Amino acid sequence: MSNNTVETKSTNTMALVGFILSLSGFVVGITAIPGIVLGHIGLSQIRKTGEDGHGLGVAALVLGYIQVGLWVVGFFLLIVLFAIFGRAWIDNGGMYYDNAMMN
């Protein structure tokens, strides 16, 4: 009788949860930051223990950092829009309106 046992490595929980949080960040928003943190922790643990889940950890970092990058770009775009429309508001004496509607 042969012993056909297959050893399976467990998936790192931190990498898995980090991936889920980073992925849900596209809907919820703020969960990308904990996803990044858990992705880093998971990859560190994987290096030490040899667990599975390296791809999940990397995906958590990629998705999380993409979201943070989009937040930064959106924030600067918002500042530019406020500057443009704020200047137009000041130039019109404190009221922003379309001059064509006044004729």
Res 9: pLDDT:
84
Torsion, Cα 23 59 38 6, to 10 degrees, reads 110
12-33 average pLDDT score: 94
Q: Provide the residue ranges of all domains of the chain, joining segments of one domain with +.
A: 13-102
Residue 7: pLDDT over 90: no
- Token pair in block for residue 1: 């009788």
The reported pTM is 0.76
Torsion, Cα 8 9 11 13, to 10 degrees, reads 120
Q: Which residue has the higher pLDDT, 59 or 99?
A: 59
How far is 9 from 96, CA to CA, in rounded Å? 63
How far is 38 from 100, CA to CA, in rounded Å? 55
62-77 average pLDDT score: 96
- Band of pLDDT at residue 101, cut at 50, 70 and 90: low
18-33 average pLDDT score: 94
